[in-house]
Structure 1
Amino acid sequence: MKACIAVLHSFIANAAKFDIDDSTMSKELQQLGLPKEHSDALCTPYLDNKDALQAKFLDQTLKIPALQIGAWQVQQGETKSVVMRLTSAKSVDQTGDKNNDLQLCLTAEKFHLLLRELKTARSLLDEIS
């Protein structure tokens, strides 16, 4: 019984996440072996609550606040490293700490890799926009 409920939960959750219409959902359930009457009985409450389910999943989505570079410096030593202080208007962690400063320390090699990957991501986003 628990396995059946888990499968239905997963199926309905994924249908809501990927915005599947009720007729497609009914056909998919029938292809999995559920009788038409049962699949239609599951699709009716799904259709009625689809917007609420999607809103619930949107609330559970990981959201990262925008970060800004407050200050940075290059440290000389055995290996060069870049230290950046990142600030955010909102708290980044769940502790509720009022200090929203994060410190990021990267070696020069990792900094150049990060910079190259961010430029690549920016160009990909510009292409689809």
Structure 2
Amino acid sequence: MRFRFCWDVDCPDWLLAEITTLSKLYDVVTKLAKDAKLDEQGAKAVVAAVRWVLESAAGAGVTANVLDSELQQLGLPKEHAAAITKVYTEHQEALQAHLKGASLKVRGETTWSCEVVGVDIGDGDLSPVVKLNLHDESQSVREGEEQESGTKTNVTSIAMTPDQLQAMIHELTEARQLMEGLH
């Protein structure tokens, strides 16, 4: 059976196996929310906040000690920060692996091409526009055919003015310098 929340494909087996656990967790969260006098929206907000903290910490690669300290600096009581940090410590590697697998990436052979084209801005005048093309050749398996595969080339184009190109180059250079400073 296909589900829209699964991008219109079958529900993954691992999720099917965890539905019972998820149901139990929901009951626990509901009970805790009632004990803390939170309404349903408040309980959802708390779960979303904890998820965001854990994913952000894993994505930033912070240590458990840094996370604990920073949560306390934000005003979270020490025991609550310790509880979140404990979960983070236990699942940090799995979180980072998940985030790495879910991050934006291009599979297969990737090439760039660039061309300057003229765009009519009226009265017969042409203005230069830089067109960047990303050519991504990825292996794709045809639906229903597990053995046969073909190469599919996706082309993504970006058009910008020379000033926009210069601004992008400047911002990418700054981003690279920041990333290199993290290592």
Unaligned runs of 5+ in 1: 92-96
Partner of 1:64: 106
Once superposed, what is the RMSD of the aligned Cα atoms? 4.0
Structure with the larger strand share: 2
* Number of residue pairs the alignment of both structures matches: 118
Relative contact order higher in (CA < 8 Å, ≥ 6 apart): 1
Identity, in percent, stands at: 19
1:56 positional shift: 0.9
Of the three residues 25, 47, 72, the one matched with 2:67 is 25
Q: Is the 8 A contact 1:85 1:103 kept in 2?
A: yes
Q: Which of the numbers 57, 73, 89 marks the counterpart of 2:137?
A: 89
Offset of residue 100 of structure 1: 0.8
1:35 aligned partner, one-letter code: K
Amino acid of the residue matched to residue 153 of structure 2?
N
- In 2 relative to 1, CA 101–17 (structure 1 residues): closer, same or farther, beyond 3 Å? closer
Q: Does 1:46 align with 2:88?
A: yes
Deviations 1:27-52 (A, max 9, x none): 2223323233x322221221121111
Q: Output the CA distance in 2 between the equivalents of 1:41 and 1:54.
A: 19
The CA deviation string for residues 51-70 of structure 1, in whole angstroms up to 9 with x for no partner, is: 1111111112111352244x
Residue number in structure 2 paired with 1:94: none
Q: Which runs of 4+ in 1 moved over 4 A?
A: 72-75, 77-86, 103-106, 112-126
Match of 1:15 among 54, 57, 81: 57
Report the alpha carbon displacement of residue 17 of structure 1 after superposing the two structures with TM. 1.0
1:67–1:86 contact (8 Å) kept in structure 2: yes
Unaligned stretches of 5+ residues in structure 2? 1-42, 140-149
CA deviation map 1:94-124 (0-9, x unaligned): xxx9541538596xx84x5577568768977
2:138 partner amino acid: K
2:146 maps to 1:102? no
Q: Give TM-score scaled by structure 2 length.
A: 0.44
Deviations 1:11-34 (A, max 9, x none): 111111111111121222233232
Amino acid at match of 1:88: D
